[in-house]
Amino acid sequence: MPIPHITSTANPTLVSALEHAINSKTKPLGSLGMLETLARQIGLIQQSTQLALRQPAIIVFAADHGVVAEGISAYPQSVTWQMVENFLGNGAAINVFARQSDCALYIVDAGVNHDFGPRDGLLDRKQGPGTRNFAKEPAMSEEQCLAAMQAGMDLVATLDGNVLGFGEMGIGNTTAAAALMHKLTRTPVADCVGAGTGLSKEGILHKQQVIEVAVAHHAAVNAPLDVLATFGGFEIAMMAGAMLKAAERRMILLIDGFIVSSALLVAARLQPAILDYCVFSHCSDENGHRQLLASLGARPLLQLDLRLGEGTGSALALPLLHAAVNFMREMATFASAQVSEKSTPD
């Protein structure tokens, strides 16, 4: 499977043009703060000063994890498929927020341990009934990992829009994400592990110990794709592939919380320039996410203490993308408004 080559968005000439367009608006310099930074980033992604958002979409990838056999979750594995049913029934938080943001929502069975059968609204990309228990053996074979990544790439290739948000669902996937973070950033396991679906202090310590034992068991695994296959999940691998394809197509990538960021971490180890295309929606309340964002050089748009996943942060941040685009498209300039730059308030 060829890894898409991601081109950096760096373009000094375009940066100057975007700065001029932003600074010509009827406002004090820099007064729109991060919205100005966001407008510059979108312009560089789209290679234009004429910004536009087309058919924004969020994809929620769902899969199960064999490591739940180690008792690392406050909820049973069956909650994964039950939540997928909730997504299909339009009853989850992501359904509410996607509707609110006028955003298309796609639900993908990447590897849930449940037979849904043919269902309207469910994209069947099942790679298997969940991964294996990485405390005992690699979660995926190399072939399974690459197939999941390719499925994510193929899915993105069918989309028409230029904004793509990422979400996930999978009992046990904070454990997988913490293991990926530890292996790829060398952050101590204790700093990567959090409450997930609501573990007690004792449960968090147990999760930490499970990861530490697993990491020692797979000590020779270090290359990004090998780390992904050993500790990841089908949904994480599929997201990593989807992100790489989306960046290759010069789409804006809306990054959600801890698990989505762990998929991006893998993708960024393969193609560092992918980070140019990423808008980080929020800093999760899940322990480790702040440090993971720091390792990616990210500055999130929101701080809402979320730790739900599902792509909820992506949906909530989408209106800020619209604001950044709309002020560039609709706000008057000093010249058009015949206002002196010196007459604007400090």
**Closest of 106, 140, 139, 146 to residue 124, by C-alpha:** 106
- Residue pLDDT, tens place only, 86-139: 999 999 999 999 999 999 999 999 999 999 999 999 999 999 999 999 999 999
3-state helix, strand, coil in the chain (%, to 5): 50, 10, 40
**CB-neighbour burial class of residue 168 (10 A; exposed 0-12, middle 13-18, buried 19+):** buried
pLDDT digits (tens, 9 = 90+) for 156-196: 999 999 999 999 999 999 999 999 999 999 999 999 997 76
Predicted pLDDT at 178: 96
Phi, psi of 307 (to 5 degrees): -155, 40
pLDDT in tens, 12-70: 999 999 999 999 999 999 999 999 999 999 999 999 999 999 999 999 999 999 999 99
Catalytic residue IDs:
310
Residue 342 is predicted with a pLDDT of 59
Where does the chain have alpha helices with state H?
A: 12-23, 34-46, 78-88, 93-100, 142-156, 173-185, 189-192, 201-217, 224-231, 234-248, 258-270, 289-295, 312-330, 334-337
Q: What is the pLDDT of residues 132-152, one digit of tens each?
A: 999 999 999 999 999 999 999
Q: Which pLDDT score, from 0 to 100, does residue 67 have?
A: 97
What does pLDDT average to over the chain? 95
Q: What is the maximum span of the chain, computed from C-alpha positions, in angstroms? A: 70
- pLDDT range class, residue 203, cuts 50, 70, 90: confident
Give residue-wise pLDDT tens across range 301-318.
999 999 899 999 999 999
What are the pLDDT digits (tens) for 266-290?
A: 999 999 999 999 999 999 988 899 9
- Predicted TM-score (pTM) above 0.75: yes
